[in-house]
Amino acid sequence: MSVSTILAMLVIGAIAGWLAGKIMQGQGFGLLGNIAVGIVGSLLGGLVFGMLGFASIGIIGSIISATVGAVLLLYIIQKVKS
């Protein structure tokens, strides 16, 4: 895996975490926490989309699947905390 690929994955995860924080309104962990959740959530989103038979094509598809994964992860964390 090249450095540019890793950087792209981190940027997509960061965008997804920021978007997930906006979608979940008040359920996030601040900007840096949401970015971390987005990076981990992007893995979850890729897994979920893969299990459903969907492929993330292009940067927009990657951002969508990563955001879905980050929202799911924020939801799970919220339920575990309460």
Distances in whole angstroms, Cα of residue 20 to Cα of each of 9, 24, 75, 76: 16, 6, 10, 13
Q: Give residue 19's identity as a one-letter amino acid code.
A: L
**Which run of H or of E encompasses 23?**
helix 3-24
Is residue 18 pLDDT above 80, yes or no?
yes
The Cα–Cα gap between 60 and 7 comes to 16
| The total number of structural domains that make up the chain | 1
pTM over 0.75: yes
Domain range for 38 is: 3-81
Query: pLDDT (tens digit, 9 = 90+) per residue, 56-78?
Result: 888 898 899 999 999 999 889 88
Task: Round to whole Å and give the CA distance between 32 and 13.
Answer: 11
pLDDT in tens, 30-62: 778 888 888 898 888 888 888 999 888 888 988
Give whole-number Cα distances, 53 to 3, 4, 46, 50, 76, in Å. 28, 27, 10, 5, 22
